[in-house]
Structure 1
Amino acid sequence: MRILYLLFFLLCRLNPSRAQEEEKIRDLIENQAENVTDEDDLSELTERLAFFRKHPINLNQTTAEVLKSLIFLSPLQIGNFFNYLANGNRLLDVLELQAIPGFDTVTISKLLPFVTISVPKIYEHIKLRQLRTAAEHDLILRYSTLLQQQKGFRDLPGSRYLGTPEKILLRYRYIFPGFASAALIMEKDAGEPFFNKKTGMDHLSAHLALYNLGRIRKLVVGDYSLQFGQGLTLWSGFAFGKGPDITSVATKDAGLKPYTSSNEASFFRGVASTIDLGKNINFSPFISYRELDASLKAMPDSSYTLSNIGISGLHRTATELKNQKRLSQLVYGAALQYITDNLNIGLVSYQSAYQHLFVTGSQLYNKYSFTGKSLSNAGLHYNYTYNSIYFYGELGKSLKSGWAILNAAMATLSPKTSVVLLYRNYDKDYHNFFSRAVGEATETNNEQGLYMGLNYMPVKNLICSVYGDYFKFPWLKYRVDAASSGYELLAQLVYTKGKILKATLRFKREQKQQNPDADNSYKQLVNVLKQSYRLEWNWKINQKINFHQRTEITQYQKDINKIETGYLIYKDVDYTPMSSPISANLRLAYFNTPSYNSRIYAYEDDVLYGAGSGVYSGKGIRSYLNIKYHLMKKMDIWGRYALSLYRQTTTIGSGLDEIEGNCKTEVKFQVRYQF
């Protein structure tokens, strides 16, 4: 407890703050925390807003593709915006957005830091010297480690971590807005050797991207992402799912993007481009070759088979190093799109080929899983804005197997009311290695669902959001030995008073079906219920001091077993300086959950581009302190100290990650140099 008092004392003496871009995405990460997978890198959201804060979007000279990068704008709002401009209107002030359907004061306040109506600087004739002097260079070095020793680092017989406990990231980015970008990323995770024979630095990623070269709108050599349609056919990287903002179920595809994340799974590596064929038609061919992690099984004929691909990116033990880069993957194809301000129709087709044969286990739920060495996928997607209605959808096909379809409509019924209706049907034998469509399951197959959502603003400062999602799984799943179904309900009230106060009240309930416990003689599926209650408020006392507090209660029940009840209470304190070079923020949290089933997710501030979601499970106290120091004009330094104290436990974690004792401490340092 003395450490916590010391942290609070330091906070009162220093001038803390949080990066404004991270404030903008706190709610977005909170809402998506339970849907995040191991291959998601949420720092992409922070980085995207940081770029547009430095390079505001000129609303009179922009495109739908650019506005989709603003994560808080819905596709319907974007469509309504271009309909407004198409009627001969030209913005003279950003506040004129209030005249456009769907643009309420909350949305406009979020937009203000990232948009402008001034004419940007255009380089008509770029000289070689300008590529260095007029460009932006951004160098980041990040170091983090646990102060307690984990079991894997002890000198024990058998499996152990072969590397050092530090996690290190080095990233260099070059940006010449509107013309070129490049990046080089090197990373090692905790437990990995600093260098290994296969890769040198454990993870190495790089790209060079050129823009607006005549008909070539984009050209990327190296690592890149592809995001088309609603994610049924081709999508890599993070995608939003269901959340209190009902518009999040409509994806905002970005097409081809350079890859700048340190995540080791969700990217392509090769060459890709977007070519303007004229008459609003874009053609995006791509080819990618990568060596993936996989656990292989030797067959009598000296061949190998595999059942899945490793996506963790961890290479700490002898086994993990053995499985590194054991499977070659070749992906090639193209996307053809017709794009206007309010209409997008696209066709995507590609093939993925693998070095070894996919096989499935003997379990019955694996009956329709993919087998073979190659897979061909094709899809047709569309979106169209008509008046205040946004229609969108996608049809996907894995050749020689199943179909997947998604159709939806989003409408602004009045300045106070918006609704969404979405239907999805993914066949049990629909196969796709690059699909991230809206759904309840982690994979885009074996699912049918109907989603309905409503946003309603009864008075100026109050927003009510409600959605319901009914889903069913026609075939068996892991730990579900029969066809099953379930539903998810959410209701939320948000009250705001200018920039001073924001209060949130939320209720969420989800019910699914699962096999009974092993000691239960009951043979049929049983219901698994999860529900949570949240009260949250954000109070800005003045320009310097800001408080954020949450109380959340969660409940978990399987069949007729006793209900597990857990809770989380935390308070964040921010002190925003006007001119001090030092800034910081502090959290004090108390949590109590009977098991991992009743865990609670919560956003946690971090160093720049490190924002993410924390999992609170067990019984204890957690605190962290983030400090930023503006050392000089071009250099900033961050430090983070995070402490978790658990009660009634003698070890933390499991397996090689196990820590003896009830205390877990992480320290992190980051240096950023811009030139």
Structure 2
Amino acid sequence: MRVHLTAFCLLLIAVPASGEDLLDQVWDGDEGVSQDFIEDRDGIVLDLNAATVQDLASLPGLSYADAERIVAFRATRGPFRRPRDLDRVGLPRPVVESLLPHVTVSHRSHPREALSRLRFVRRSSSARGRPLLTGSGLHARTTYRAGDLVAASVTTDKDAGEGNPLDFAAGYAEVRSEVARLVVGDFRPGFAQGLVLSRWTRAPADLSQVVRRPSRQVGYRSTEENGALRGVYLEGMRGAWRVAALGSSARFDAAIDTSGQVERLTEGGLHVTDLERSRADALRETALGLRIERAAAGRSHFGMTSLRSGFNPPFKPQGRGPSGASATVLGLDAGASLGCLKVAGEMAQTGQGRAWAAGAAYQRRRIEAGLQMRDYGQRFQTLRGAGFSTFGDAQNERGVFAGLVWRTRRIRAASLTFDRAWRPGPTPTLPPGSARSSLTFRVRHAPLRRLLLQWSGQTRWDQVYKGKQQGVLPRRRRGLRMDATQHLGRGVQFLVRGDLVNAAIGPGREAGGSAFGELKVRYKGLRAAGRLTYFNTPSYESRIFEWEDAPEGMVALRTLTGRGVKGYVLISAKAGPARTTLRLWRQRPLDGRKATTEVVAQVDVNM
């Protein structure tokens, strides 16, 4: 016993900061890490193609940030062929030399995989027994992969009410090696903080978006319309340099005025009415882009991104957003990893305006913190950047986001975030300088082994235009949510939730609420879930958002307004390479509003 205690004390003295997470796992005793593994740490030999960030960070002389660089290099450029490939990661030479005795490489084959998905959606609604709308949607996707070398995907989607089964179609083919990547078809890359090119469309909502990383996935598999580039994407890597070029000719849905110019872009992708069909693919964008990036000293990088776009027909000059038949945007970015601290920033300039965003994230043991500041000019608009609305108003803003997360063994996460934004110029309904703020807290607590409690709340302040008579009024919205999840064992889980909302617009006030119970069962290849919800919200201002279980690859977000009950039943069964999922959803109003029924059937085949 004394020998083991002495060895453990020596280990506490010798292990650097990068091994603290590993020691926490041993101390907690619930992660399955053996004492022999700790004592034999210096004799570990890890596979570079299989080790996680935590595994690599446990090696002597390797920081957590450098371990992340190794995993990121492997993810973007494919598996290592030999240990000496660590020289290409950008780590200091002494660090590489110290790692060589502790790493190896297993040469992996490139397994072939084909995934197919077919989803059918039938939606109908009625009011007081009279049918209002009945429509069917159809979604299909087939993806093929040969390891990390070859990938191809084809996606089609038809929303309920649309007549053309190929209303939306996207696909791509990708070939990659250790030093190059080629994508042909539909794609959407994300670089730096996303001011010029991004896969994200909104300002950060949590700490994961404070310091953004380049997106791993370039090929486009989403069913979100008006989001992808279409053409050729080529990327090459040599040493610390990375260069990417793209050429695209894509279309947007847009509203065209009587003079033949683009008045505004339209979102949603629905083409049901004659007006919506007339706006489909009304705007063509041709684009050429270039990205150059260099990693310096293994812990920092510098980059430049440029994008030149042409529009046919041209945009109507409106004082904000794109204007004319062309637009050019240039972005400069940099980032650094300083132990537990990561910082990154980007500046972008167009002919009409400029924007910048910068963030810092700190993570050490049980504490995470982040700060992000942004300033999007009223006339700055790229259509492909993050944090802006395609309408050029609410998301073009100055803002600051800050957050803090604390974790213990029982408290899974306690977080507090604050976001405040100012609109730099007037909008069609709000004066210049209009602001919105939000303060959010979340606590996840596990007082017992199989019981998880969660509390969350948010307060928002902003302004809203209520017509010529009332004008602009202050608006405040407060929400409180309470969850309790009980794991009953043998794959059975029970969840109850309560939501309370209080909304105030000027002197008026209203309150709403909802509650539901949900049961989930997993047994071998069978999954089943059911939920029943009661809600009472006087108007849209006191609405409640509720996420629901849905077939894999599909997210169901409901907005609850009015008074009523709703529920769903989901059953999913696996037989051989196929999984079949059925989902029945029904919302019944108690205040005379419309009732809605939705049936979803989905089949996934993995070969």
Distance 1:560 1:296 in 2: 40
Matched residue, 2:426: 476
User: Aligned equivalents of 1:57 and 1:479: distance in 2?
Assistant: 54
**Distance in structure 1 (CA, Å) of the matches to 2:192 and 2:230:** 21
State the distance in 2 between where 1:241 and 1:669 align: 34
Q: For 1:546-557, what aligned pairs fall within 5 Å after superposition?
A: 546-557=493-504
Q: Paired residue for 2:515?
A: 569
Contact persistence 1:230–1:437 (CA under 8 A): no
- 1:435 deviates by 1.5
Q: Is 1:203 the counterpart of 2:168 in the alignment? A: yes
- CA deviation map 1:336-392 (0-9, x unaligned): 1123753232210011111112115xxxxx533432011101111222110211111
Identity, in percent, stands at: 19
Measured after TM superposition, the shift of residue 226 of structure 1 is 1.2
Cα contact 1:453–1:467 (8 A) shared by 2: yes
Higher relative contact order (CA 8 A, sep 6+): 1
Stretch deviating more after TM superposition (479-488 or 58-67): 58-67
1:220 is aligned, of 156, 165, 183, to 183
- Confirm or deny that 1:410 pairs with 2:410: no
Match of 2:236 in 1: 275
Q: Is the 8 A contact 1:379 1:395 kept in 2?
A: yes
In structure 2, the CA distance between the partners of 1:601 and 1:85, relative to structure 1 (3 Å rule), is farther
Please give the alpha-carbon distance, in whole angstroms, between the structure 2 residues aligned to 1:417 and 1:58: 21
Match for 2:345: what amino acid?
Answer: G
Aligned match for 2:194, one of 224, 227, 231: 231
Gaps of 5+ in 2: 1-48, 57-66, 78-90
Q: SS at 1:489's partner residue?
A: strand
- Whole-Å Cα distance in 2 between the matches of residues 466 and 87 of structure 1? 42
Matched ranges for 1:133-212 at <5 A? 134-148=111-125, 165-194=135-164, 201-212=166-177
Match of 2:265 in 1: 309
Q: TM-score, normalised by structure 2?
A: 0.80
Q: Matches of 1:185 and 1:291 in 2, distance apart?
A: 17
3-state SS of the aligned residue for 2:468? Answer: coil
Residue identity opposite 1:603 in structure 2? W
Residue in 2 that maps onto 1:658: none
User: For 2:337 and 2:473, how far apart are their aligned partners in 1?
Assistant: 43
> What do residues 1-56 of structure 1 show as CA deviations (whole Å, max 9, x unaligned)?
xxxxxxxxxxxxxxxxxxxxxxxxxxxxxxxxxxxxxxxxxxxxxxxxxxxxxx97
| Residue pair 2:196, 2:329 contacting (<8 A) in 1 also | yes
* 1:38 counterpart residue number: none
d(CA) in 1 for partners of 2:253 and 2:410?
A: 53
**1:499 Cα offset (Å):** 6.1
Output aligned runs, 1:187-586, within 5 Å.
187-194=157-164, 201-212=166-177, 215-216=179-180, 218-237=181-200, 241-243=204-206, 246-254=207-215, 257-276=218-237, 278-299=238-259, 304-339=260-295, 342-360=299-317, 366-398=318-350, 400-412=351-363, 415-437=365-387, 446-457=396-407, 460-461=410-411, 463-496=413-446, 500-520=450-470, 525-561=472-508, 563-577=509-523, 579=524, 581-586=525-530
**Secondary structure of the corresponding residue to residue 190 of structure 1:** coil
Instruction: Give the secondary structure class of the aligned counterpart of 2:268.
Output: coil
Aligned partners of 1:411 and 1:237: how far apart in 2?
Answer: 22
Aligned residues: 528
- Letter paired with 1:313: G
Q: Distance in 2 between matches of 1:617 and 1:122?
A: 53
Q: Does 1:647 align with 2:594?
A: no
Cα deviation code 1:549-604 (max 9, x no counterpart): 2111111111111x111112112211121x3x432111111111111111111211
Conserved 8 A contact 2:210-2:360:
no
In structure 2, relative to structure 1, the CA distance for the partners of 1:568 and 1:624 (3 Å cut) is: same
For residue 598 of structure 1, the aligned residue among 526, 542, 548 is 542
Q: Is the 8 A contact 1:430 1:445 kept in 2?
A: no
Quote how far apart the aligned CAs of 1:241 are.
2.2
1:438 CA drift (Å): 8.6
Structure 1 unaligned blocks of 5 or more: 1-54, 70-81, 93-116, 127-133, 156-160, 196-200, 361-365, 653-662
Q: Which amino acid aligns with 2:596?
A: K
Once the two structures are superposed, the pairs formed by residues 7-46 of structure 1 within 5 Å of their partners are none
Q: CA deviation at 1:187?
A: 1.9
Q: After superposition, what is the alpha-carbon deviation per residue over 1:265-317, rounded to whole angstroms, capped at 9, x for unaligned?
A: 211110001111x2311110001112332232343xxxx21112233222223
Distance 1:203 1:450 in 2: 37
CA distance in 2, matches of 1:515, 1:203: 35
What TM-score does the superposition give when structure 1 sets the normalisation length? 0.72
Alpha-carbon distance between aligned partners in 2 of 1:182 and 1:501, rounded to the nearest angstrom = 43
**In the TM superposition, what is the alpha-carbon distance from 1:395 to its structure 2 partner?**
0.7
CA 1:122–1:427 in structure 2 vs 1: closer, same or farther (change >3 Å)?
same
> Which residue pairs with 1:626 in the alignment?
570
Structure 2 contact 156–169 (Cα < 8 Å) conserved: yes
